[in-house]
Amino acid sequence: MKLTLIGNGIMAQSLAKGLVKNYEVEMIGRDIDKLRQVKEKIPEVSIKIIDDQEDITDKNILFCVKPYALQSVAVRLTGKANTLYSILAGTKLESLKKQISAKYYIRTMPNVAASVSMSMTTITGDNEAKMSALEIFNAIGKTVWVNTEKQLDIATAIAGCGPAYLAIIAEAIADGAVKAGLERHISTELVHGLFVGTSALLAKTHPAILKDSVMSPGGTTAAGVGAIEEGNVRNSMIKAIQAAYEKAEELGSK
Ligand SMILES: NC(=O)C1=CN([C@@H]2O[C@H](COP(=O)(O)OP(=O)(O)OC[C@H]3O[C@@H](n4cnc5c(N)ncnc54)[C@H](OP(=O)(O)O)[C@@H]3O)[C@@H](O)[C@H]2O)C=CC1
Ligand SMILES: O=C(O)[C@@H]1CCC=N1
């Protein structure tokens, strides 16, 4: 199957890197220099400048522009696509249906880990395209199908934005180690190993049980947990998810 990505930014490239292993991938953008740079990085991708009247008839489109660019790109698309897979944060199915013609509509929320075939992707939309959507996004990581756009917007806050949140935590832990006197390269290597190991444990252990198993009475972890609670980290993460979800809703209401 051929997939056509519209947009050539961070996410389009992340998706393309994984998808080229299983699909023929075409990338359509508006800047030939940027497209050529993508072609250098991912030679399997075919590149194309967007036409004023870009015919998308029967194509399977992965729509990868920013939400605010939807209208300006949509007016250039003609014909009826087979399936439109949108990755736009917040943008509702209804809005996509009004602006781009397709037989089926799917909203997805992948993340940048698609570039290493480890995206956590949430999907919703037309049931007729459910199997194809799961197949495409399973090729670049894990998938969860949800039945409402509200669930997808909350998933956006977790798995779409989440790599940024975890990267902040990772950086802060490494900074803490450097502050305590450990070399930067050692700190960074330890943090990477920490995330890999903890991720494997979290796949089979409840977070609270994992935390309890590390935290001995009056011990080092307990001292650290005390500092984490003083810093309101837990509440900050809850608020971060709420804020990102509300922003997704706000984008969808425009
Ligand atoms: N970044 C992330 O981690 C995630 C992002 N998303 C969603 O993915 C989408 C893309 O985000 P991201 O890749 O980060 O953004 P980027 O800014 O990296 O990419 C946006 C792309 O859209 C293109 N574009 C904008 N306007 C037009 C136009 N009029 N015609 C043709 N192409 C156009 C840009 O072209 P040009 O390069 O020429 O400016 C660029 O290639 C967003 O909707 C976002 O919500 C979803 C999940 C995760
Ligand atoms: O912040 C953003 O706009 C995008 C959407 C999901 C992750 N990043």
Domain count for the chain: 2
Whose CA is closest to atom 1 on ligand 2?
A: 161
Q: Is 152 within a domain?
A: no
Q: Could you tell me the end-to-end alpha-carbon distance of the chain, in angstroms, rounded to an integer?
A: 34
* Pair 232, 196 in one domain: yes
* Pair 35, 142 in one domain: yes
235 belongs to an annotated ligand binding site = no
* Pair 21, 141 in one domain: yes
| Gap from CA of 219 to ligand 2 centroid (Å) | 39
* Pair 8, 98 in one domain: yes
Alpha helices in the chain (DSSP H): 10-19, 32-41, 70-74, 93-99, 130-138, 149-155, 162-180, 184-202, 207-214, 220-230, 233-252
How high is the ipTM of this complex? 0.97
Cα(104)–Cα(83) distance, rounded to whole angstroms?
Answer: 5
* Pair 210, 97 in one domain: no
* Pair 62, 6 in one domain: yes
pLDDT of 253 reads 85
CATH number at residue 243: 1.10.3730.10
pLDDT of 41 reads 97
Q: What is the pLDDT of residues 122-173, one digit of tens each?
A: 999 999 999 999 999 999 999 999 999 999 999 999 999 999 999 999 999 9
Contact 25, 44 (CB under 8 A): yes
* From 10, 119, 153, mutation site for ligand 1 pocket: most ligand atoms within 8 A of C-beta: 10
Whose CA is closest to atom 5 on ligand 1?
A: 11
pLDDT of 134 reads 98
pLDDT of 170 reads 98
Q: Is 153 within a domain?
A: no
* Pair 126, 182 in one domain: no
Show the low-confidence residues of the chain (pLDDT under 50): none
Q: Which atom of ligand 1 is nearest to the CA of 156?
A: 47
CATH number at residue 139: 3.40.50.720
